Structure 1
Amino acid sequence: MNHPLLDVRDITVRYGPVTAVDQLSFALDAGETLALNGPSGCGKSSTALAVLQLRRPDGGQVRFEGRELTALTERELRPLRPRMQPVFQDPYGSLSPRHRVRDAVAEPLRIRGAWDRSDGPARVAELLDRVGLDPAYGDRRPHELSGGQCQRAGIARALACEPRLLVLDEPVSALDASVRAGVLNLLDDLQDELGLGYLFICHDRAVVRHFADRVVEMRNGRGVHT
């Protein structure tokens, strides 16, 4: 039986008396982009945190590659986390200002035990090249890059984990229009090349119409249209 890459069923996320996500359901296949669209405060980012299990939902299920995540302990989740990676809105805030770009991209390889001194630097250079950055930029720190370059470095860092799912939380909203188009085109190319599934969180309907295969409109924590 073939399972969706991601299958979210009736998830609820509460912060005290406030219900941020209210019994939301959707599914996403590999190679597909599903957008969550809606105004600020409608529950999009809380949904992203619940999918990534960075904020455990208060109800419902999150199935990734057929496996139910909400019942797993943190130890059981650990080997699955590299396969579902976030890309955040703030390209500078997602990378440590103290580390050079090459070290930020190499960090997931080190954590996974996949770093080798002999071929590790070449792997980092390959990842930077794949996202359209000159590998020489690896010697720079985030503040020495433009916003678009820094977001590309963040994508390279996510790809180092060899993910199947990217959770893209407003990944281009902080970028100029011309830079935004370049990053979206890069994400399109990577999806075609690697078969990635994208959960794309965005408030801009024009961007969503251009980029997403399907859309879930959110209002007050609920999906009102798919």
Structure 2
Amino acid sequence: MNALLQVRDLVVRYGARRAVDGVSFDVAAGETVGLVGPSGCGKSTTAAAVLRLLRPAAGSVRFDGTELTTLGASALRALRPRFQTVFQDPYAALSPRRRVRDQIAEPLRIHGLWSRADGPPRVAELLDRVGLDPALGERLPHELSGGQAQRVGIARALATRPELLVLDEPTSALDPSVRAGILNLLMDLQDTLGVGTLFISHDRAAVRHVCDRVLTMREGRLTA
């Protein structure tokens, strides 16, 4: 399989400390790769560098052949619809004052993909795709359960039809009874949409359940 995401010798420094120290891996189109390790090992920092939410001190991050670490702001903005993220805390990732439908529509509006004719049906389709009644689009985030809120986050991430998803601890803030449903949803999306996925977690059992390959990280480095 051709690599959709190529990370080579990635280094991120916080002061003199290397939070990420020479990390290299690939994610192929349609593949789900797990990145596991204890808290503070550099998993989420790696994700932030992959998404160009921070600039690494050294190394390369290539998405579909394009080097992201040196990409200018306008070119990066044009690529952003093609790679999206789902965060750990579903409530923190959503605005408490905006209805669900508007939050799912937001990436479509930002990237010029919204139209009056196609936008509302697309939002309803996304809610249904993640197992939610489209009528929930009228609600505010505090009216949702944790599992429902995370499904909204996943729907929003899928709005632009990305080729790569970065999932940063997407089940760790949820009750154990809810996690299985989210994991099963992620597996279904992998099968039906063929999105390349980087799944970051400290829960090795969850990662093994979902992922094609699992990488282990400790103290900023990948271990054998």
Report the TM-score when normalising by structure 2.
0.98
- 8 Å Cα contact 1:8-1:63 kept in structure 2: yes
Distance 1:84 1:123 in 2: 19
| Structure 2 equivalent of residue 107 of structure 1 | 106
TM alignment of 1:59-208, pairs within 5 A: 59-208=58-207
The alignment partner of 1:78 has SS state of helix
Q: Where do 5+ consecutive residues of structure 2 fail to align?
A: none
CA RMSD of aligned residues (A): 1.0
Contact kept in structure 2, 1:105 and 1:124, CA below 8 Å: yes
SS in 2 for 1:80: helix
Within 1, Cα distance between the matches of 2:143 and 2:128? Answer: 18
Deviations 1:38-76 (A, max 9, x none): 000100000000000001111000011111111211111
* 3-state DSSP of counterpart to 2:89: coil
Moved over 4 A (4+): none
Aligned residues: 224
Q: Tell me, what secondary structure is at the counterpart of 1:162?
A: coil
Tell me the residue number matched to 1:211: 210
**Counterpart amino acid of 1:94?**
A
1:137 maps to amino acid: L
- One-letter amino acid matched to 1:85: Q
User: Contact between 1:3 and 1:65, CA under 8 Å: does it hold in 2?
Assistant: no
Q: Which residue of 1 aligns with 2:38?
A: 39
CA shift, 1:127, in A, is 0.6
The one-letter amino acid of 1:173's match is S
TM-score w.r.t. structure 1 length? 0.97
Which residue identity lines up with residue 164 of structure 1 in the other structure? E
In structure 1, distance between residues paired with 2:101 and 2:118? 13
Q: Partner of 2:54 in structure 1?
A: 55
Whole-Å separation in 1 of the counterparts to 2:117 and 2:196:
32
Q: Which runs of 5+ in 1 are unaligned?
A: none
For 1:92 and 1:116, locate their aligned partners in 2 and report how far apart those are by CA, in whole Å: 27
The 2-side partners of 1:213 and 1:159 are apart by 20
1:124-178 CA deviation, whole Å, 9 max, x = no partner?
1111011001000000011100000000000110111110111000000111222
TM-aligned CA deviation for residue 191 of structure 1: 1.1
